Amino acid sequence: MVETRLIDGKAFAEGMRARLKEDVAAFVRETGVTPGLAVVLVGEDPASAVYVRNKGKQTVEAGMASLEHKLPADTPQDEVLALVRALNADSSVHGILVQLPLPASIDAQAVLATIDPAKDVDGFHVVNAGRLAVGLDALVPCTPLGCVMLLKDVLGSLAGLEAVVVGRSNIVGKPLAQLLLREDATVTIAHSRTRDLPGVCRRADILIGAVGRPEMIRGDWIKPGATVIDVGINRVAGVDGKARLVGDVAFDEAQGIAGAITPVPGGVGPMTIACLLANTLTAAKRQVGAD
Ligand code: GUN
41 CA to middle of ligand 1, Å?
11
Pairing state between β 95-98 and 5-6: unpaired
Nearest CA to ligand 1 atom 9: 99
Pocket test for ligand 1, best of 69, 98, 99 (most atoms within 8 A of CB): 99
Instruction: Supply the pLDDT for residue 107.
Output: 98
Options 58, 119, 120, 122, the catalytic residue: 122
Which among 11, 1, 3, 32 has a CA at the least distance from the CA of 270?
Answer: 11
pLDDT at position 291: 78
Residues 204, 151: Cα–Cα separation, whole Å = 13
Q: Is 99 in the pocket of ligand 1 (CB under 6 A)?
A: yes
Check the annotation: does 169 bind a ligand. Answer: yes
| 141-269, CATH topology level | Rossmann fold (3.40.50)
Residue 104: phi, psi to the nearest 5?
-60, -25
74 is annotated as an active-site residue = no
Instruction: Classify domain 32-118 by CATH number.
Output: 3.40.50.10860
* Among 171, 275, 277, 280, residue to substitute to test ligand 1 (most atoms within 8 Å of Cβ): 171
Evaluate: CB of 230 within 6 angstroms of ligand 1.
no
Confirm whether 55 is a catalytic residue. Answer: yes
167 marked as part of a ligand binding site: yes
**Residue 91 assigned ligand-binding role:** no
Cα 44 off chain centre by: 21
Same fold, 32-118 and 141-269: yes
Ligand 1 atom 2: the closest Cα is on which residue?
Answer: 100
pTM of the predicted protein model: 0.97
Write down the domain spans for the chain: 32-118, 141-269
How would you classify the pairing of strands 227-230 and 234-237? unpaired
Is 99 designated active site?
A: yes
- Does 233 appear as a known binding residue? yes
DSSP string, the chain: -PPPEE--HHHHHHHHHHHHHHHHHHHHHHHS---EEEEEEES--HHHHHHHHHHHHHHHHTT-EEEEEEE-TT--HHHHHHHHHHHHH-TT--EEEE-SSPPTTS-HHHHHHHS-GGG-TT--SHHHHHHHHHT------HHHHHHHHHHHHHHS--TT-EEEEE---TTTHHHHHHHHHHTT-EEEEE-TT-TTHHHHHHT-SEEEE-S--TT-B-GGGSPTT-EEEE---EEEE-TTS-EEEE-SB-HHHHTTTSSEE--SSSSSHHHHHHHHHHHHHHHHHHHTT--
- Protein residue with its CA nearest to atom 11 in ligand 1: 100
In tens digits, the chain (291 residues) has pLDDT values of 789 999 999 999 999 999 999 999 999 999 999 999 999 999 999 899 999 999 999 999 999 999 999 999 999 999 999 999 999 999 999 999 999 999 999 999 999 999 999 999 999 999 999 999 999 999 999 999 999 999 999 999 999 999 999 999 999 999 999 999 999 999 999 998 999 999 999 999 999 999 999 999 999 999 999 999 999 999 999 888 899 999 999 999 999 999 999 999 999 999 999 999 999 999 999 999 987
The residues pairing with 69 across neighbouring beta strands, listed in sequence order, are 40
CA 267 – ligand 1 centroid, Å: 16
Closest residue by Cα to residue 49 from 59, 58, 39: 39
Q: 287 to each of 72, 93, 274, 290, how far by Cα in Å? A: 31, 10, 20, 8
142 CA: nearest ligand 1 atom: 6
- In this prediction, residue 244 carries a pLDDT of 93
pLDDT, residue 290, reads 83
